[in-house]
Structure 1
Amino acid sequence: MTSFFRKLALSCAIIPLAQCAVVPGHNSAAAQEAAAPAAATTTAIKPALWAVKDDDTTVYLFGTVHVLKPGLSWFDGAVKDAFDKSDELKLELVLPEDQNEVAKETMALALDQSGTALSSRLDPAALAAYQAAMAGLGLPPASFDGFKPWFAGITLSVLPLTKMGYNPEEGAEKQLSNAAKAAAKPISGFETLSEQLGFFDALPMSSQIAFLNVMVKDLDKLGPQLDTMVGQWGAGDPAALAETMNEGLAETPDVAKTLLWDRNARWAEHIEARMAQPGTVFVAVGAGHLAGAKSVQDYLKERGLKVTRIQ
């Protein structure tokens, strides 16, 4: 279960939500002040890029990281050229512009309506570790008693990254969305916010609790783990990224099926249908969906479509 975060970090675009979600007792301004300063230098990287083409349609496939540190130059060269040629941008999801709506949709699923306190779901040792982790991040554990374990786990997965300088404003989706808006390109999503939240909410309670316990146990490892994955992403090495993400995958098959494989298959079906219409589409989804076995590319190939790597 220790690789849970690795699969999670690059598989759902809602991960940055925990930084801006309405978290009782949390001072978001203080969290921002604790973040690392902006990078003074720029590092050029080359994430992987693929294309699916026929006579009148091109769909580019670009793997993203949802939170990044400043100072990484990736939106240039082949990626920028493909984006500029595209008529539209397709993301995992497009968040509502209204932050109140984001909070409303999130809280509708994150709040535990059963009346069971989160603290009562944890055994004594796990509870003590959880309370210490929350306190270390400046979060009052008692204020999370009304929430489901998955929401507390997501919150724990993001806040340490914020303090290390990771920022959703620097994430690939944000940069691509800003560029699409500036160029008046339509933006749409494969999924809605409620659907992505629902993937977590539908996990068995045992998996939610295990997720939360892993977040607590590996709190000091989250940043280095994401650093490794960002390095593999920037090097354009999906094989290494897949190996990192697939470590321990057999231990969490329900999570892998829900957050990765089933979604990859649905997106491949959508892309196949889109190939019937002329035009050029830039598809940008979490890099984990474009790496390893049962990736989006694998499902596209099963449907008889040729996927060509162009960077």
Structure 2
Amino acid sequence: MKHLAAAAFALFGLASQAAAYCAGTNLVDQMLPGDLKEIRARADAVPFARGNFWMAEKDGQTMTIVGTYHIDDPRHMSVMAALTGRIGEASGLLVEAGPEEENALMQAMGKNPSLMFITEGPSLLERLPRDTWRRLSEALEARGIPGIFAAKFQPWYATVVLAIPSCMIAEPDLKNGLDAQLIDAAEEANVPVRALEPYDTLFTIFGGLSEEQSIAMVEASLAMEGQSEDMAVTMADLYFEADSRMIWELNRLFAYKQPGYTRQQVDAEMAVMEDVMMIRRNRAWIPVIEAAAAKGPLVVAFGALHLSGEEGVLNLLAENGWMISELDLAGAVSQP
């Protein structure tokens, strides 16, 4: 269970899966032209919609900004050489959570099981509609979690675990994503690794959700359960095509197609999730990033979904006077 918890938290920030461990089909390739046009237009309507690697400059300060994919994939190798060199020249590496934060997180969960599990009051078996519980228990059993344990999961934790397809639960290298590889490179180069946020941010975010919102997250996750391997391939491919904003809009489109939801309901729920999971965190990160950049050249790395949007990290920095340019790790730099 400890391995599963660590794997689940590895997904925090970019809720996507590793194609390297799953056999599936890229769903974008199978989309109707009208659907593809719709999500393409939605994605491209926001600032900095495409691109994973960026340079920011202001008043002689510089930083390399890396949108990451939190899960292991052999395609990370093609950028690590260039990023390793930049880390070696940096005054520090900023990540969502470094080794100290991960250790503190695991210790907190060990000391206080109620952070992840229902320790008093009705279980999920009692709180969820019968059919929802049936589908949830089947999905978690496919991941090696018996129903007797699943019934005690906090709703948000069940949602995070559902983000890991059963095809990759047992993979030992699951957490060796780009973030982890950058941390290893920084430690080898004796470059300080610092966190963008406190270790308990996860609990603060999910603890602020209402019961209705928490259950809605479970329902939304279960809606994609039958296509989890296809989604694994699709989301990973979109990241490596530097098109992560499409991940967000693809999930919106699939939510539109689920029975019992109107487009207005889907849009409202996604707006809440974007605010809670990304926008609030982005805003909190900006002063941390700018303070670190004032100490010398900086590398900052976080889930790629945080890059784009009116209140994405890149646009927030641009509003603060930073000149943002897309970084071609082969050597070319172009204005977005």
Task: Give the TM bin, normalised by the shorter chain.
Answer: 0.7 to 0.9
Give the Å deviation of 1:243: 4.1
Q: Is the 8 A contact 2:58 2:322 kept in 1?
A: no
CA change 1:307–1:100 in 2 (3 A) is: closer
Q: Is the 8 A contact 2:123 2:152 kept in 1?
A: yes
Q: Report the counterpart of residue 27 of structure 1 in structure 2.
A: none
Query: Could you tell me how far apart the structure 2 residues matched to 1:16 and 1:191 are?
Result: 22
Q: Which runs of 5+ in 2 are unaligned?
A: 10-20, 24-50, 254-265, 329-336
Query: Could you tell me how far apart the structure 2 residues matched to 1:150 and 1:259 are?
Result: 12
Give the Å deviation of 1:234: 1.5
- Corresponding pairs, count: 275
Query: Normalising by structure 2, what TM-score?
Result: 0.71
Secondary structure in structure 1 of the residue aligned to 2:314: helix
Q: Report the counterpart of residue 269 of structure 1 in structure 2.
A: 287
Query: Could you tell me how far apart the structure 2 residues matched to 1:63 and 1:116 are?
Result: 40
Give the Å deviation of 1:147: 2.7
Query: Could you tell me how far apart the structure 1 residues matched to 2:139 and 2:247 are?
Result: 28
Q: Is the 8 A contact 1:49 1:61 kept in 2?
A: yes
Query: Could you tell me how far apart the structure 1 residues matched to 2:295 and 2:75 are?
Result: 36
**Aligned match for 1:303, one of 317, 320, 336:** 320
Secondary structure in structure 1 of the residue aligned to 2:310: coil
2:161 equivalent to 1:155: yes
Q: Which runs of 5+ in 1 are unaligned?
A: 1-14, 22-34, 38-46
2:227 equivalent to 1:209: no
CA displacement, residues 228-277 of structure 1 (integer Å, 9 cap, x when unaligned)? 222222223355456446655543221110101111122123323444x2
Give the Å deviation of 1:166: 8.9
**Aligned match for 2:276, one of 228, 243, 258:** 258
Matched to 1:305, the amino acid is W
Secondary structure in structure 2 of the residue aligned to 1:53: strand
Instruction: Map residues 1-311 of structure 1 onto 2, 5 A cutoff.
Output: 17-19=5-7, 48-70=52-74, 72-76=76-80, 78-94=82-98, 95-97=101-103, 101=107, 103-104=109-110, 107-160=113-166, 162-163=168-169, 167-238=173-244, 240-241=246-247, 243-244=249-250, 247=253, 249-275=267-293, 277-311=294-328
Matched to 2:217, the amino acid is F
CA change 1:17–1:136 in 2 (3 A) is: closer
CA displacement, residues 94-118 of structure 1 (integer Å, 9 cap, x when unaligned)? 2334785153267342233541211
Secondary structure in structure 1 of the residue aligned to 2:196: strand
CA displacement, residues 202-225 of structure 1 (integer Å, 9 cap, x when unaligned)? 211111111112222312323322
CA change 1:69–1:150 in 2 (3 A) is: same
Query: Could you tell me how far apart the structure 1 residues matched to 2:306 and 2:146 are?
Result: 35
Secondary structure in structure 1 of the residue aligned to 2:195: strand
CA change 1:163–1:147 in 2 (3 A) is: closer
Single out whichever of 297-306 and 74-83 deviates more from structure 2: 74-83
Query: Could you tell me how far apart the structure 2 residues matched to 1:284 and 1:141 are?
Result: 37
Query: Could you tell me how far apart the structure 2 residues matched to 1:302 and 1:88 are?
Result: 24
Aligned Cα RMSD in Å? 3.1
